[in-house]
Amino acid sequence: MKLVFGLFDWMAKLVTTAVVLLVCIFVLFVSYKGSQPMSVQGVPAGMTYFEFMQDRIEAAKEVEPARCGWGLMLSLAALGPVYSVVYTEVAIHPDGFLAGVSAPDPDIPRNVAGTAWSGIPGIWWSVVENLSWSMLSLKGPGCNFRPIIVNR
C-alpha cells in the first residue's frame, strides 16, 4: 500500500512540476512576443503589443462614458482567451468541427492548415494581436476610442 501511495505522490509532484514549467514557458513566450513589433496591418510601425495595450488603457480612461471603454477591455479579457484558442483551432483544421460551427471572421488566419506543432504558438499569438486590434482600435458605433498615440 505504501508503494501505491508513494507512486501517487511521485505522479502528483511530476504533474505539478509540469504545470509550473508550462506556466513559466507561457509567461516567457507572451513576454517575448508582447515586446516585439506587432504584425497587424494598420499598427504604427514598430509598436509593440504592450505599447498598444497601454495606449488603449489610456484611451479607455478618456471615453465617455468611461464604462464603455472598460467594457471593451473586459470583453477582450473575458472572450479573448477563448476566441484565440478557437480561432487558432479553426485556422489549423479548416475542415474540423469547430470550423463548421464557427462564423467566418477576418481575425481567423488563412492558409495555415496542417501547421506543425511548433508553429501553433506563433499562429495563436497572431490571433491574439488581431483580436486585440479589431476590438480596441477600430471605431465602432457604440464606443469610439481616440486614435493611437505613438510615444517614441
pLDDT tens-digit map of 73-96: 888 889 889 999 999 999 999 998
On the question of a cis peptide bond just before residue 121, with omega within 30 degrees of 0, the verdict is no
Rounded to two decimals, what is the model's pTM?
0.83
Q: Which residue has the cell 507561457?
A: 26
Rg (CA), the chain: 19
Instruction: At 111, give phi and psi (nearest 5°).
Output: 60, 40
pLDDT of the residue at 23? 95
Amino acid type, 134: S
State the average pLDDT over residues 130-141. 79
State the average pLDDT over residues 52-62. 86
Instruction: Give the count of beta carbons closer than 10 Å to the beta carbon of residue 44.
Output: 15
3-state secondary structure of 37: strand
Show me where the domains of the chain are located. 52-152
CA dist 16 and 83 (Å) reads 27
Q: Alpha helices, DSSP H only, in the chain?
A: 2-34, 49-62, 66-92, 97-101, 120-136
3-state secondary structure of 32: helix
Using pLDDT thresholds of 50, 70 and 90, give the confidence band for residue 53.
very high
pLDDT of the residue at 123? 93
